[in-house]
Amino acid sequence: MSTSTLHLVQTVCAAYGIGMAQLTQNNGRRPSNNVAVAKQVICYLNRQHGKAHYTVLMRLLGYADHTPVCKNIKRTRDIMSVDADFREQVKQIELQLQTRTDEAEQRMAA
pTM for the model stands at 0.86
Per-residue pLDDT for the chain (110 aa), expressed as one digit of tens each? 566 888 999 999 999 999 999 998 876 677 788 999 999 999 999 998 877 898 999 998 989 999 999 999 999 999 999 999 999 999 999 999 888 666 656 666 66
SS (H, E, C) the chain: CCHHHHHHHHHHHHHHCCCHHHHCCCCCCCCCHHHHHHHHHHHHHHHHHCCCCHHHHHHHHCCCCCHHHHHHHHHHHHHHHHCHHHHHHHHHHHHHHHHHHHHHHHHHHC
- CATH class of the domain comprising 3-103: mainly alpha
